[in-house]
Chain A
Amino acid sequence: MRMSRIVGKAVIVAFLAAPLLHSQVEPPPPPDFIPPLRVAVPPATVQDGWHRPFPGVVVQPAKPAPAPRHDIGGTWDPGPTSGIQIQGAAARPDDGNPAHQPPYTPLGLETLSHTKPSAAARSVLPGETNDPIVLGDPQGMPREELYELRVTQIVQYPEKVLVLYTYGRVWRVIWTDGRDFPKNPEPRWFGYSIGKWVNDTTLLVETRGVDDRTWIDRAGRPHSADMRVLEWFHRVDQNRLELSLEIDDPKMYTKPWTALYKLPFALRPPDFDVREMIYAPSDVEEYNRLLANPVSDKDSH
C-alpha cells in the first residue's frame, strides 16, 4: 500500500515534469470539415532578388527520394497563397460558417469581442482595426504560421532547430536538447519552444509562455498566457514537408482545436533567395495616411 502511494506520486510528478510526455506521432484528427486548400497557379518562372529565374511551381520528381532521418532542414515553399490565411487559421477559417468556429469558452467569446480585425467575417474598415501588427507588434506564435506563412527556412543543429520566417524576417528557436520548459517564464512574443522526434521523420514541438497580447491569427482569435501550441513538422520525402498545428488553451477554448492540418511545403534549392517582407511602421503609417484612413473616412478630407 505504502509502495503504491510512492509509485503513484512518482507518476504524478513525472507527468507534471515531462514536457512532451505524449508522443503523438500523428497530428490530431482534422476538424469535421476540411476547407479546400486552393492552390494558386503562379507564373511559369518567378524572379528572386538577384533577378534570377526560378520555376514558379516546384516540380516534384516522379520517384522522390525517401525522407532523411531526423532532418527537416531546408528552404520550404508553401506556394504563393496557401499560407496567407487571410480568413484566419486555414483549418478553422472565420468565414461566417458557425461550424468552422473554434470551441470558445465564455471568456474566449468575450475576449474575441474586443478584437477588431480588418479581414475575415468580423472585418472592420482598415482605419478602425486594433490589430496589434498594424501598430508594429510582432506576430509571435502561433500567428507567424497562421498568417502570411511564406517561404520558411529551417536550419538544424544538434541541440536546436532554427525556423526563419519570411514575414517580418523573424526567427524562432526550438530546443531539441531535452530541456524542460522554464518555471514561471517571462512572456515572450514567440514563447518558448521545445521539440522531440516522435519517429524518424516527425518533429513534435510544444510552445508555451506566449505573450497574450498577440492574436492567434488574422481573424483576431484570442489566447491566454496559458496557451500551449503543438506543431508537427513531418518530412514526407526528400522534397516535401507538412506542417500541422493545434491550439490548446482551456481558458479560451473548451477543447484543443486544429489550426493547420498537413499544410504542404516543397523544397527549394539551397541557393534560393527569399524576398524580404517587412511591414515597417513608417511604411504602414504612409499607407494609412494615403489610403487606409481615406477609404475609412478617418482622414481630414
Chain B
Amino acid sequence: MAQKCLTIVALVAAIAVACVPALAHHGAAAYDTSKTVTIKGTVKQWNWTNPHCLLFVDTTDDAGQPVHWIVETQNPLSMSNLGWSGESFKPGDHITVRVTPAKNGRPIGLVMDVVLANGQKLNARNIFADEEPKTDASPKQ
C-alpha cells in the first residue's frame, strides 16, 4: 500500500513538472519555467477578470520586509473548468501559492496551484488524459 502511495506521489510530481511548459492559454516568454517559488501569504485582492485572473498576495521576505506579489492564472472560463470561481478567495485569506516566477525578478508569477487554509488545493494547470496515472482518483468519464 505504501509503495502504491509512493508511486502515485511520484507520478503526480512528474505530471506537475510535465504540465509546467504546457501553459494552455498564456505564452511563457516572461516566466522562468525552470523555477518554482512558494509563497505563504495573505490575499489582498482577487480579480476574476479577463484576459487573466489576478491574485494579489502579501507576504514578507527573509528580512521581514513586505513583498506584494501579483500572480496570474488563465481566464475565468478556463479556471471555471478547473473548479475555480470569483468566490475562491477573499481578502484576508491565508494561502500557500506556488508560482512560476517572472524572469525579471519582479514579484510576479504564473500560478501553478494554491492551497487554502482549510487544506483544499486548487490546481491552476490542466491535467491531460495522456499523463493521468491510472491508479489515482480521477473523475470517472
- Is the A/B pair a real complex? yes
Kindly list chain A residues whose C-beta atoms are within 8 Å of the C-beta of B83.
43, 46
CB atoms of A39 and B128 under 8 A apart? yes
Within 8 Å of chain A (Cβ to Cβ): is B118? no
CB atoms of B139 and A56 under 8 A apart? yes
Interface residues of A: mostly helix, strand, loop or mixed? loop
Given contacts A46-B81, A275-B77, A286-B49, contact A81 B126 (CB under 8 A): yes
CB atoms of B51 and A284 under 8 A apart? yes
CB atoms of A47 and B50 under 8 A apart? no
Given contacts A40-B126, A275-B80, contact A86 B104 (CB under 8 A): no
Kindly list chain B residues whose C-beta atoms are within 8 Å of the C-beta of A294.
70, 106, 108
Which B residues are closer than 8 A to A by beta carbons?
A: 22-31, 49-52, 54, 70, 72, 75-78, 80-83, 85, 102, 104, 106, 108, 126-130, 132, 138-141
- List the count of A-B residue pairs having beta carbons below 8 Å apart: 118
Contact with B along A118-150 (1 / 0, CB 8 A): 111001111000000000000000000000101
Interface residues of B: mostly helix, strand, loop or mixed? loop
Given contacts A36-B130, A84-B24, A287-B54, contact A125 B29 (CB under 8 A): yes
Given contacts A80-B78, A277-B75, A283-B50, contact A86 B25 (CB under 8 A): yes
Within 8 Å of chain B (Cβ to Cβ): is A13? no
- Other-chain residue from B30, B130, B140 in contact with A44 (beta carbon distance below 8 A): B140
Top 4 nearest A-B pairs by Cβ distance?
Answer: A119-B27, A44-B139, A40-B126, A123-B29
Which A residues are closer than 8 A to B by beta carbons?
A: 36, 38-44, 46-47, 56-57, 59, 80-81, 84, 86, 117-120, 123-126, 148, 150, 166, 275-280, 283-284, 286-287, 290-291, 294-297, 301
- In whole Å, how far is A278's beta carbon from the nearest beta carbon of chain B? 6
Question: In chain A, what residue has the closest Cβ to B81?
Answer: A80
- Other-chain residue from B23, B108, B132 in contact with A86 (beta carbon distance below 8 A): B23
Alpha-carbon distance between A41 and B140 when the two chains are bound, in angstroms: 10
Given contacts A43-B83, A126-B30, contact A295 B128 (CB under 8 A): no
- Other-chain residue from A40, A57, A283 in contact with B51 (beta carbon distance below 8 A): A283
Kindly list chain A residues whose C-beta atoms are within 8 Å of the C-beta of B51.
279, 283-284, 287
CB atoms of B129 and A291 under 8 A apart? no
Kindly list chain B residues whose C-beta atoms are within 8 Å of the C-beta of A290.
54, 70
